[in-house]
Each structure stands twice: as C-alpha cells, then as structure tokens.
Amino acid sequence: MDLVRAHADTMKSIFYSRFFILLPWVLIVIIVMDIDTKRSSVRSTAGSYLARLGDPQRRERPAHAAPSGANRTALLAAQSSRPSRPHTAGRCRKRSFTLLANTFRHGATALFHWVVVEDAGARTDLVARFLARCGVPYTHLHALTPRRFKRSGMPRATEQRNAALGWLRTHRATREPGVVFFADDDNTYSLELFEEMRSTRGVSVWPVGLVGGRRYERPIVENGKVVGWYTGWRADRPFAIDMAGFAVNLEVILANPRALFKRRGAKPGMQESDFLKQITKVEDLEPKAKNCTQVLVWHTRTEKVNLGNEPKRHQDSLMIEV
C-alpha cells in the first residue's frame, strides 16, 4: 500500500512539476517584439504587466538526458527587438527569429524554453505560427509599450523586460536553479557562452564584441575581480556594460522583487546600470570567458532591408509569408 501511495505521489509530483521543477534543464529565452499599435498603455509595475499578458501560449517537450556530470542549471536569455526600428519589428522579424531559434536549438545541452514577449496589445499570428513550428519549447506573451515612450532617445524594451521578470517571479520558485540572460536579435552568440553562464552564482559578466564604436568592450579584471571597464562610452557608469554582457542567477531575481528596468527618469544606455545596481555590487561580479579576455557574443545589428523594387500593390499570384 505504501508503495502504491509513493508511486502515486511521485506521478503527481511529475505532473505538477513538468514545467517548473525541470527548470535546471531549461534555457528560457525571452524575446521582446515591437508591434506599433495605438492601444492604451501599461503601467510600470511588474504586477500590471502580468495582468495584461493574458493566458500565455505554451509548448513543452520531454527532457533529454544530460551527459553525466553536466551542469543542470537553467538559463534565461531575454532578447529584445528594438522598438525604434520598424524594419526589424516587421519585415526582418521572422528572419531574426529563425536565426535565434537555430542558435538556441543547438546551444541547449538540455531542455530549452523560449519566452517571447511581443510589444503589442495582443499576440500576433505571425509570431504564434513561427513559434508553433520552430522546434523550441516556448511561452508567448505580450506587453504594450505606451506610444509616448517610443520616441527617439527613450530607453527601449522596458515594459517587455519587466513583464518577463514579472512572469519569472510568478512562475518560478526560489529553490529552482536558473540563470537569467537578456538576449537581443541584434546579437550573434557563440554556443560556448551558454555553458559559461550556467555556473553564475550571483551576477556574471563577459566581453561583448563590436559595440560602443570599438572592436569590443569588456570588464577589466585583476586577481579575479572586476576593477573597471574598457568601454567606448561613459566609462563612469556604475556598470559600463552592454545588455548582452551579463547574466543573473534566478535566485537573485526572486530575492529582489522590486528590481526592475526603470522607465521614470531613465536614460538610453543606462538601463543596464540602473538595473544591476539594484541587485549587486561591482566587487561581487563574476568574470567569465577566461577572466573577460574572450569574446563569445557580438553586437551585429540587423541590416535595414532594401525593398526599393517592391511594388506598392501586391502583383504576385501567391501571397507568401516572409
């Protein structure tokens, strides 16, 4: 009887934890998509973002066995499409998604989860169709950026990143090992980077290539500690680092529920510093990529599409999604 009860409890545990307890095997990728709409704005708190997400679309797949001794810590990579670039949000959107899906599909040594946050009042069919057949487990959300914050010179993807943080705080538990990484469809990633960040205990950092008008920017490391920044812009920033240059342990995110990307008083280029100084100190940063001497991610901007020969009215006999 005890054996039957134990088996039933085990099956129940598996049922309820299929998505949550398998986090050590999950690489969660949060994508921020921009859809320019005229709908009402969202308020700048994680709770209000979540209230507007609706019932997220979600797809899972069975866990694969990891090699013996493999690091089972999950990764969360939050990627944002830039709201100020409509060509990325529209015509380049599927192309960017395809490149990222291929990278994430090959970069995950264990179960991988992709959280997509569209900058829109509702999930779009184009993104939903792509995710349904991309071969990567996903959760599809949306959070609208108010039009007044889409002006040139305003920080980007604030509402979407905060919605992603709120989703994590609602759907993850402090006992679950994981690492949060904010990705971008403008970036190119070495598969080594995913393994580098898995061992993050607090906040880890590494160099980023082709950024800030330089071949690379990086944290300056002495005796295993970050002591400064090699950067082409505002070296006086508390954390003079690109969004692609750091990762945060999930426990740190959950232990600091008020830590968000600022909208009020925020300035472009300062979101990384504004966020990181809420959760860590420079002296506590963990250098990765051989003490920040190796570039494993590059800031490669999406090229603007040339459609100079595209007819104003559709002339082909077929309507093909691009």
- Residues belonging to the active site: 272
Distance linking the first and last C-alpha atoms of the chain: 59
247's enclosing H/E stretch is strand 246-249
Q: How far is CA 253 from CA 19, 243, 258, in A?
A: 19, 16, 9
Cα torsion angle, 89, 92, 95, 96, sign: negative
Distance CA 20, CA 317 (A): 47
What's the rounded Cα separation, in Å, for the pair 294 and 218?
Answer: 9
C-alpha 186/C-alpha 177 separation (Å) is 28
Residue 45: helix, strand or coil by DSSP?
Answer: coil
